[in-house]
Amino acid sequence: MAKVHGFRVVPSMPPRLAPLDELKSNIWSLWNSDTVSLFHDLDPELWERTNHNPVALLNQISQSKLDEKARQEGFITHLNLAAAKLQYYLQQPAQQQTWFQDTWSKAHASAGHMLIAYFSAEFGLHEALPIYSGGLGVLAGDHLKSASDLGLPLVAVGLLYREGYFHQRLNAEGWQEERNPALDFFSLPLTRVQGPDGQPLAVTVEYPQGPVRVGIWKVQVGRVELYLLDTDLPENRAEDRAITARLYGGDQNARLRQEILLGIGGVRALRALNKNPTVCHMNEGHSSLLALERCRWLMEQTHISFAEAREAVAAGNVFTTHTPVPAGNDAFPRELMEKHLGNYYPQLQLSLDEFLALGRVHPADPQEPFGMTVLALRMAWHCNGVSQLHGREARKMWRQIWPGMSLREIPIAAITNGVHTPSWLDKDFVRLYEETLHMRWPEQPTDRGFWQHTEKISDAELWRVHQRGKERLIQFVRQRLGLQLAHCSTVGHGRRRPPEVLDPQVLTLGFARRFATYKRATLLLRDSERLLRLLNDPQRPVQLLFAGKAHPRDDGGKHFIQDIVRFCRRHDVRNRLVFLEDYDINVARHMVQGVDVWLNTPRRPMEASGTSGMKAAINGVLNLSVLDGWWEEACLAGGPDVGWAVDGDAPQAREEYQDEIDSRELFDLLENQIVPLYYQRDAAGLPREWLQWMKASIRSICPKFNTNRMVEDYLATAYQPAHEGFTALVSQNAAAAAALAKWKQHLRQHWPQVRVRDVKYNAADIEAGKTLQVEAVVELGAIASEHVDVQLYFGQLNTSDDFPSGTAVPMDHVAALADGAHQYVGEIPAATCGAQGFFVRVLGHYRGLVLKECPDDVLRPEPGLIHWG
């Protein structure tokens, strides 16, 4: 058969519309409401059909419509204003520097040489670029947008999936089915990166069957560049082209191949682009192999050992864990690791056992698989969970990596997630906030002063804006449901006519997220009669809107979807309950902008953070959630009138019992508080008290739970210290890294000699307000006293003569004794009464081993270098 030669025909852009070319290529245009309306006005029907993709829109629009728009002066004025706004944003003239330039760099001289590389397996920037599955990706996308707004020197690395994440359809039985249509990269807002020779730039990554060529694509996210790796190149073997076929598709073999590409290939791609990050941020463990590739490159450049390279690289790595259960963290068996990385680990001058030990909680256990999260925790000095509660849970989950450390000292901090406010805010709320708060409030969303002006919003105007969003949501639901029912016609569906579904005057609850079983989407279905009474109350009805996808291999989640869909089809539901298929950012945006109450029912403490409720709150939607993830913090900070909380915490309760308790509490809140409050109206028909709750929620949640605050937290607590640590340790041919590695080797060799020999204290009973004097004799063997910290660790005793949390205070070195031991003294303040206890402990300390530019307080406790007397 003769070969078909393909070509494309695209409309000819009139010169007056030339600015559209730049606007279509920058994701900034898709979080700016004025620019979104510009693309919508070009062809509203096509804009919806292309899923709000400006590149696809301009590829498919008719020439006549472009010519018509070029003649409309109003459109040209709108276009030129949008283009000027983008240019101003990108160029930021000197008198209007970015926050990073104007605020951070002036206070931190070394920040001018910082470059942060942010790695993630998925990025949820917009529905037009479907390379995300859920919260992790959307969080990564919002992170990039705020990094751009703040002007951080940041690049990002991910994978470009030819089939993206699956599209969801429900069959006649309500069972989820998956479709994976291929994406047309040339109709997406991205460009292929070219090398100096004008040819597509590529790097090589080794796999068991041989080298694989990796192409690089760029997405412009405001000021930030996101680079996506692609193995679907003609020169690669079929199995290698499939590495980037699907997000989270395939078996463990496929997952490991993707993680090798992301971690090792990602670092190589940045080098090919002449970008040399001082900080690498691993968003979840999928990219943790980047730590080893950074070591390999540093060893190659400076001829230092792996132990020395590891110190410098770990100092410059940041790791964020999002998974609150061990089973959710990727781990691979020895055989698979040896198969795929058997040619790699020798380049690190490591044996197989030394290599595998890096990914094990118990390094010497040959049966333990290689954990990517464990590798990241070992290879990053700066680790964090994504809410305060999750930080506590992560410390419990991984405490065995730091044996002997007290729980609260485990070096996993907490940086609570946020959302990129402009990306999720209803366009009418944008105008409302501009009029009430300040025209420039989007540039400073963390400023509580702006949000205090929420009280100035008139009740009538706030309710009008909220109702508009609700009406748009219901119109959207009816349109989507019509399409949904068209491909799945059954007798049961015949009673559901989309024009009659949902009512803008009825209290509307929204639930949308990944359908993992621990998120308990069917909690309200446990008592169907009670739910039906809520839905069908003639005076004060309630309606429910669900959306979400289950992982293709999660039958439990699929059964939850099926249960909800079957309940929707009951004749007595009366159009009050809807499940929308194919959940994506577009569906999420409509829902968080239009429902009255956002419902979240995870099994505590399994929701690491959650961000959908934050997106709802910025649009005046009230939250009804289990006290898990971010909501625990929001309730503590905001008081009782920012939303409603289900406690969700019955210690040691069986799951079935906990579900029953939480279901009853959920119904009690709805029946006794939420429904009456919503339907309590004044003579003008306004729910005055409900509106006060909306204002309190906006005022409390918006300034804290946004990604500008989150990124600033990362910069202060992780990026800046990591940058300083890395640059200090690699300077002078990594001399400080070599000294640090030598010190650790010395301490590990001689640590068994450490012993607390004698402890004396002045009294068994002391009066409150006084101090307990303690003396200790400590044997250090060959270890110098300046390389250890001797501490008193004390706290309140419980009935088991133990204390769950304690406080450490240093002991002073008094003298070196004749027999080689050392004498220390210290004091314990008697601040509280009751039975108390203390230990004397010894920890290894880095003091004096790194350059002054890398302060001691950015260094973390070393696993194993702790002795309790």
Angle at 33 between CA 30 and CA 37, to 5 degrees: 90
What percent of the chain stands above pLDDT 90? 80
| Least trusted range by pLDDT, from 242-251, 326-335, 477-486, 649-658 | 649-658
Average pLDDT of every residue of the chain: 92
From residue 319, alpha-carbon distances to 505, 826, 853 in Å are: 46, 36, 22
Of 73, 70, 51, the residue nearest 11 (C-alpha): 70
Q: What DSSP string describes 583-647?
A: --HHHHHHHHHH-SEEEE---TT------HHHHHHTTTPEEEEES-THHHHHHHHH-TTSEEEE-
Element (H, E) at 260: helix 252-260
How many other C-beta atoms are found inside a 10 Å radius of the C-beta of residue 75?
A: 17
Cβ-Cβ contacts under 8 Å for 68 (sequence gap 6 or more): none
pLDDT value for 327? 78
Q: What is the mean predicted confidence (pLDDT) over 11-37?
A: 95
- Concatenating the DSSP letter of every residue in 323-370 gives --SGGGS-EE-HHHHHHHHTTTGGGGT--HHHHHHTT-SSTT-TTS-E
The predicted-structure confidence for 520-579, as pLDDT tens digits, reads as follows 999 999 999 999 999 999 999 999 999 999 999 999 999 999 999 999 999 888 799 999
Report d(CA 739, CA 729) in Å as an integer: 9
Return the pLDDT at 862: 83
pLDDT given at position 574 = 78
- With a cut of 90, say whether residue 345 has pLDDT above it: yes
Residue with tokens 């781990």: 331
Cα separation values, 173 from 114, 169, 178, 480, 495, Å: 55, 11, 14, 19, 16
Alpha-carbon distances of 610 from 45, 97, 321, 554, 663, rounded to whole Å: 33, 33, 13, 20, 20
* Residue 815 bridge partners (DSSP): 823
Which of the given ranges, 92-106, 317-331, 620-634, has the highest pLDDT on average? 620-634
In a 13 Å sphere around the CA of 776, the CA atoms on its Cβ side amount to 27
- Give CA torsion, residues 141, 25, 286, 298, to 10 deg: -120
Q: Kindly state the tokens that stand for 252.
A: 């463990």
Position 489 scores a pLDDT of: 53
Burial of residue 665 (CB within 10 Å: 0-12, 13-18, 19+) is middle
Instruction: Read off the pLDDT of each residue in 68-92 and give the average, rounded to a whole number.
Output: 94
For 131, the token pair is: 């390379």
Q: What angle do CA 424, 17, 84 make, to 5 degrees?
A: 55
Question: What is the tens place of the pLDDT at every residue in 310-323?
Answer: 999 999 999 999 99
CA separation for the pair 278, 272 (Å, rounded)? 16
Q: Which residues of 48-65 are buried (b: 16+ CB within 10 A; e: fewer)?
A: eebbbbbbbbbbebeeee
What's the CA gap between 826 and 778, in Å, rounded? 13
Question: What span, in angstroms and rounded, lies between the C-alpha atoms of 682 and 170?
Answer: 43
CA 227, distance to chain mean position in Å, is 18
With pLDDT > 70 as the criterion, what percentage of the chain qualifies? 95
What would the pLDDT profile of 362-411 be if each residue is shown by its tens digit?
999 999 999 999 999 999 999 999 999 999 999 999 999 999 888 888 99
Distance (Å, whole) CA 443 – CA 26? 19
Question: Residue 413: what pLDDT?
Answer: 96
**Which tokens belong to 782?**
């060959």
Query: Does the pLDDT value for residue 847 go beyond 70?
Result: no
Q: Where are the beta strands (DSSP E) in 189-330?
A: 191-192, 202-207, 210-221, 224-230, 279-283, 317-320
Contact 29, 86 (CB under 8 A): yes
Give the residue among 318, 327, 329, 328 at the shortest CA–CA distance from 413. Answer: 318
The three state secondary structure string of 90-146 is HHCCHHHCCHHHHHHHHHCHHHHHCCEEEECCCCCCCCCCCCCCCHHHHHHHHHHHH
Helix (H, G, I), strand (E, B) or coil at 578: strand
Residue 550 to residues 257, 613, 809, Cα–Cα distance (Å): 23, 20, 49
How many Å from the N-terminal Cα to the C-terminal Cα in the chain? 82
Token reading at 234: 């003609």
CB atoms within 10 A of CB 485: 17
Checking if the pLDDT of 499 tops 80, the result is no
Nearest to 863 by CA among 310, 51, 91, 113: 310
| pLDDT, tens digit, 9 for 90 and up, residues 163-184 | 999 999 999 999 999 999 999 9
Residues in the chain: 869
Cis before 499 (ω within 30): no
pLDDT band for position 803 (cuts 50, 70, 90): low
The pLDDT assigned to 406 comes to 87
Of 743 and 274, more confident: 274
Q: What is the pLDDT of residue 864?
A: 85
**All residues at 6 or more sequence positions from 525 whose CB lies less than 8 Å from its CB, including other chains:** 531, 563, 564, 567
Confidence of residue 799 (pLDDT cuts 50, 70, 90): low
Distinct helix (H) and strand (E) counts, the chain = 32, 28
Confidence at 493, pLDDT banded by 50, 70, 90: very low
854 vs 506, more confident: 506
In this prediction, residue 851 carries a pLDDT of 47
Average pLDDT over residues 151-155: 97
The helix, strand and coil proportions of the chain, stated in percent and rounded to the nearest 5, come to 45, 15, 35
- Encoded tokens for 81: 């204003």
